[in-house]
A and B are shown apart, each in its own frame.
Chain A
Amino acid sequence: MDFLRPASWEEALAAKAEYPTAVPIAGGTDIMVEINFDHRRPEYLLDLNRIELLREWEVGEEVTELGASVPYTQIMENLRGTLPGLALASHTVASPQIRNRGGVGGNLGCASPAGDSHPALLAAGCSVEVESVRGSRLVPIDEFYTGVKRNALAADELIKSVHIKNATGPQQYSKVGTRNAMVIAVCGFGLALHPDTRTVRTGIASAAPTPIRAKAAEEFLNAALEEGGFWENGKVITPSIAKQFAALASAACNPIDDVRGTAKYRRHAVGILARRQLVWTWEQYRGTTGRPLEGAA
């Protein structure tokens, strides 16, 4: 095994071009487990810890560019206002020690269907900036996950940052697990209201071969909200809309039975999370638009 220690982003790209099998390591919270347990012996480890730009973020007017290695702790502490869904998701990652090391780049690089940040990224809407010596490109998040632990990266590419749309409305995230810390999601769900475009977006983790959006549920809800004039009048979401949204979110899942839960349970739980989050975010939206919270309980 060789340990490559590029001092700059350019050096890292050159190293990845020269050794396409090199495995990037930043927080190490995934790859070191595989090495410790002898599940994996990469020929080259490509250390990204010395590359400052991967730990930086910039909040723009509409989009936040989040460096791939910004630790979850920093996201929780500094980006709760602009990226509330991702901040909530970050808070559910493992434990403080892990959150101090891990970042979104690792979740995207591993592309595990259970990654905690995926539902938040899908719901917020974002593009992943990947780069190689050949140049850089922005991959829309909807095209990023290509299979179980597979993503759209070419062998010579590295993840540089994620360009995430700043929240224009309430966002939620929840995860089902046996305890609050150190849990791989049984399933996870994220929801973002986008009042600027009058749309909602969703994200589901651990209930399909890849992280997915519940597109039929989104389309149904977008149409129902539009039709009822909900965005303007801020009415309470009717139980029938919430119920149908939940059913469609469940239907979007394509889960498996495994040690953490059954497919049936996952489908059911995603529906519950979807319904709850719709109510939570919508009540928050109604609250922030200055209308009284009638019968919110």
Chain B
Amino acid sequence: MRVNFTVNGRQQEADDVWEGESLLYVLRERLGLPGSKNACEQGECGSCTVRLDGVPVCSCLVAAGQVEGRDVVTVEGLADFAKQRAEHGHGGACAAGGGCGTKGVSTDEAKRWSARPGDSRTGEGVELSNIQQAFIDAGAVQCGFCTPGLLVQADELLERNADPSDQDIREALSGNLCRCTGYEKILDAVRLAAARQGEAL
């Protein structure tokens, strides 16, 4: 079957999609967006977290056919999504048709996205969202496999709750597993992002 939906602000069309396929598979294997990670395939680890119509979900548990006509933001579009939110007061819902006059991130752009040629450790020279920069600065990235899911999930927490308590952070990230067990630094990163977000206001 064919599935039409918006990814990171751009209209996309996926063809020859198998009916039992997950959104995660479509993103990674058909649209070439491997940012969302395929780890557990059972909603247990949160590595595949994306925003579906603004709501964080495990993309491995969304059937491809269910996203027809809907709006998806992946980690590749997170920086742009956060930028739009800062400029327009909301995230990517202005996606389809570019209601807010922004262009979104094309899959080609997203595919090319990389922390290089800037310094990949500090992210210097690369435009990152607040939460992405905070993960780098706090040393919250180890093997990096859980990072995309955590970024999307933590970004949504800070969108809802500008001043989260440790309890709020722990609960918001309770569906994201880090097998390097780097949780302390991850918590630091979210606190750092919250503090910077507060300063910016």
Contacts and interface: CB of A to CB of B under 8 A. Distances in A.
A182 B174 contact: yes
B122 interface: no
B22 interface: yes
Given A5-B68, A97-B49, A45 B175 contact: no
Most A CB atoms within 10 A — which of B20, B41, B65? B20
Contact of B63 (A25, A98, A181, A182): A25
A45 B1 CA distance: 13
B114 interface: no
Contacts, number: 88
Interface in A79-123: 94-98, 100-101
Contact of B65 (A5, A27, A41, A98): A5
Nearest to B64: A3
Contacts of A180: 174
Interface stretch (A32-40, A166-174, A204-212): A32-40
B60 interface: yes
Given A41-B20, A97-B57, A49 B66 contact: yes
Interface in B32-90: 41-44, 46, 49, 55-58, 60-63, 65-66, 68
B46 A3 contact: no
Classify the interface of chain A: helix, strand, loop or mixed. loop
Contacts of B22: 32, 35-36
Contacts of B56: 96-97, 100
B43 A1 contact: no
A36 B60 contact: yes
A182 B45 CA distance: 9
Contacts of B68: 5
Interface residues of A, number: 28
Interface string A16-39: 000000000101110011011100
A28 B43 CA distance: 10
Contacts of B174: 95-96, 180-182
B82 to A, nearest CB: 19
A96 B171 contact: yes
B18 interface: yes
B107 interface: no
Contact of B44 (A42, A45, A96, A182): A182
Given A28-B62, A45-B63, A98 B43 contact: yes
Given A37-B41, A49-B66, A181-B175, A96 B20 contact: no
Interface string B163-201: 000000001101110000000000000000000000000
B124 interface: no
A98 B58 CA distance: 7
A227 interface: no
Interface string A57-98: 000000000000000000000000000000000000011111
Interface of B: 1, 18-20, 22, 41-44, 46, 49, 55-58, 60-63, 65-66, 68, 153, 171-172, 174-176
11 contacts: A2-B19, A25-B63, A41-B20, A47-B63, A95-B174, A95-B176, A97-B56, A97-B57, A98-B175, A100-B55, A182-B44
